[in-house]
Structure 1
Amino acid sequence: MNQDPIESSPTLESLIQAIAQHRDKQAFVQLFNLMAGKLKFYAIRCGANEQDAEEIVQEALISVWHKASQFNPKTAAATTWLFRIVRNKRIDFVRKSRPDQIQSFDLFPDHGGEELEIDAESDLTAQFTRTLIEYLPDEQRQIVYQVYFEGKSHSEIASEMDLPLGTIKSRLRLALNKLDSLAKEHMSWLIIILLTTY
């Protein structure tokens, strides 16, 4: 007598596939039990408080239920896919509350293919960002520091620096593009830090 593989030894991949193909509620419950705690912990590591983290994870798991068919095990591991959904929900959550403020995830957008250890990423972002910011021109570096490390909005910086809001946004966008390019150039150095720190 053959056993249902989901019941005998469920994997994240098989649970997601069962949700996608059969709208399997039992598979969803199993996925929730396996991952909800880890996803909540990751949301907190990304900067959410406990209450917000619970809301983010709930929204993320609802997305899993509706979008399970989008999971492709050939392009990403199931855990990576799930963490990315939580990360995106966290980004959406912050942007809704402070739409004019750039956050650390804006400095390093998710490109999909370049995967680093999820838990280590959030710990290293600030250290790595500070190093890369030193490569920016002074006028861009000043704005990035005020936005990223001091939490100021575009309009606040424009007022303090007596510059048009459009100029602030333009300089910030140039800085973010430069940081993104620098991050890619220095990726091997970041990997070395990962390997020696964790």
Structure 2
Amino acid sequence: MVAIERLQSDPTAAAALLSESVVLVAQSRDEAAFEVIFRYFAPRLKSYFLRFGADASLAEEITQEALVLVWRNANQFDPLKASASTWIFTIARNLSIDRFRRARRPTFDPTDPAFVQEGEPPPDRQLERAETEKRVREVMNSLSVNEKDVLMLSFYENSSHSEIAKRLGLPIGTVKSRIRLAFGKIREALDAQKGGVE
């Protein structure tokens, strides 16, 4: 295929053709343009995931998942902000981090002493817990809808930052900022309550 040969021999032409291909996928779901992207990036992404620590089958799986995300999210690509390679490898990097993080999570052991419920806490602890829960509810109610949405997805649905970004159609940086702001408000309120108790 002429386009792929051009990509191998001329980096400037390669960058232009890859950006143009992503734009064509975004505008008209152009399958030929996606084939250019796929043929160029599939081996590079697989190699990247192997270096990141994946075995061959996992690297293949994540490569396919990354390229599906490129197809689905091509409309988010802005050639004025980044090259196609930078954009695609950012998707790949975030995806691989999420996948490896999930793979490394320990399994839940309900017999672990940390999870076995102790007897009923003393009355002062119950009162303190009730006040803290009340304060957290008040702060949660004072958060903006945007902040509340990201917290609910992150902590109640256990979604990763990239999953939240995809679900809400937001840049991942915005998701992280909203979570940080919401946490800051909760921490500030609880610190104020703690200061008031002492």
Q: TM (normalized to structure 2)?
A: 0.45
Task: Work out which of the two has the higher radius of gyration on C-alpha atoms and give 1 or 2.
Answer: 2
Q: TM (normalized to structure 1)?
A: 0.45
